[in-house]
A = this chain, B = another copy of it.
Amino acid sequence: MSEILCEIISIGDELLIGQVVNTNSSWMAAELNKAGIRVNKITAIADEGSEIIDAIKQAESQSNVILLTGGLGPTKDDITKNVLADYFNSDIIFHEPTYKHIKSLFSKRNYKVTEVNKHQALLPEKCTPLFNSNGTAPGMWFDIGKTVIISMPGVPFEMRGLMIDEVIPRLSKKYNLPSIYHKTVMTTGIGESMLAEHIDSWASSLPSHIKLAYLPQPGIVRLRLSASGPDENKLKNEIDDYCDKLSVLIPKIIFGYNDITLEEVVGSLLKKDEVTLSTAESCTGGYIAHLITSIAGSSNYFKGSIVSYDNDVKVNQLKVNSGDIEKYGAVSQQVVEQMAIGGKEVLKTDYCLATSGIAGPQGGTEEKPVGTVWIAIATPTGVKSKLFNLGEHRGRNIRRSTLGALEMLRRELAKI
């Protein structure tokens, strides 16, 4: 059949006063695209009946699938529900399974079900209720021939659950969508344009039914491969083959697949090798330790960090030679290597990452401008270090130094 077009309509005054960023609609757009549905418009409107009606009418003239979020729940007077009942000229009926679900959710939390909560089980007769496992307000599916109008709550995790469990599978079935397979290749260490040059021949070799998208983030470039066709298994094998070829072409800079983070990857490697890590941070100010410890279970391999912002801390805690700080400066290969060795020794770990740099905006010199960063890694067999030049922005310098350090550790552990 012809292409399925979709419009997303987000309902909520909070979006129009700029209080809330509309992350729901970008998440939904990504999921719909993955499922093979093109989003041709995203609209945000007020909690206002007439505006909701206008927006639906406009969308109906352009799209097959209309997804509404928000405007449900007691504080919004369930405006979306009432507007849709009117629009479809539908009676409102009491939906017993929804009420049972509300009662069971409330009893788990030891809350009492009030009259207001009971209202959530009142639904337009003409809709198919969609089960919301994460909340009290069900989704509503209005099937009108070639078009479908779907309403969901605006609470992000409730909407996401409904999309994954109900909306996407039902849309795939209704429109007989082809199978789509996606795989994201995570890379770090080189920028988007240089990466594109490196993999140009590989990218040109992709068949027309496999699409490649570059998704850059600070310090990381994701490559998303998507293929559609009748046979999902075949697509998966095909994309896996192309990924294997890519990993031969750029073996070092791929750190994982499908949105894994660098801190997760090094965490798994440390766990697998049963080795421990510490950090000795100057310019990153504890951010490496923070990312490492943001992973659940990191206490199995991370012992601690000495954040040595002050040179005295480098000397007293990390056993850096004070004469070398004077001679070479705190931002130097000599000092950062001593920091890594010292951190490894005093924190009694197998590996230690150390950073020393000029994050900015002050502190730069002609010889060592803002963005000059030395990173070292002490390993069971020695110490290695590397110089980076990361630019002028303090926050980005801290983030990029941290990714650079994690990547050095990953390569060391993966022996590449």
Contact = CB atoms under 8 A, between A and B. Distances in A.
A270 interface: no
Contacts of A398: 290, 293-294
Contacts of A58: 58
Contacts of A213: 17, 19
Residue of A43, A316, A361, A362 with most partner-chain B CB within 10 A = A43
A183 interface: no
Contacts of A45: 40-41
B15 A296 contact: no
Q: How many copies does the complex hold?
A: 2
A45 to B, nearest CB: 6
Interface stretch (A94-102, A245-253, A297-305, A320-328): A297-305
Contacts of A298: 285, 309
A412 interface: no
Contact of A394 (B27, B294, B306, B313): B294
A33 B17 contact: yes
A302 B359 CA distance: 15
A184 to B, nearest CB: 12
Interface string A263-306: 00000000000000001010001111110111011110011111
Interface residues of A, number: 70
B285 A292 contact: yes
Given A33-B17, A42-B15, A346 B22 contact: no
B31 A27 contact: no
Interface in A363-416: 363, 394-395, 398
A362 B312 contact: no
Nearest to A398: B294
12 contacts: A15-B42, A18-B27, A18-B39, A20-B26, A21-B23, A40-B51, A41-B45, A286-B293, A294-B394, A299-B363, A305-B305, A313-B347
Given A19-B30, A299-B309, A299-B363, 17 more contacts: A16-B39, A17-B33, A19-B215, A22-B25, A22-B26, A40-B46, A41-B45, A43-B43, A285-B290, A285-B298, A286-B290, A286-B305, A294-B394, A303-B309, A304-B317, A312-B348, A317-B317
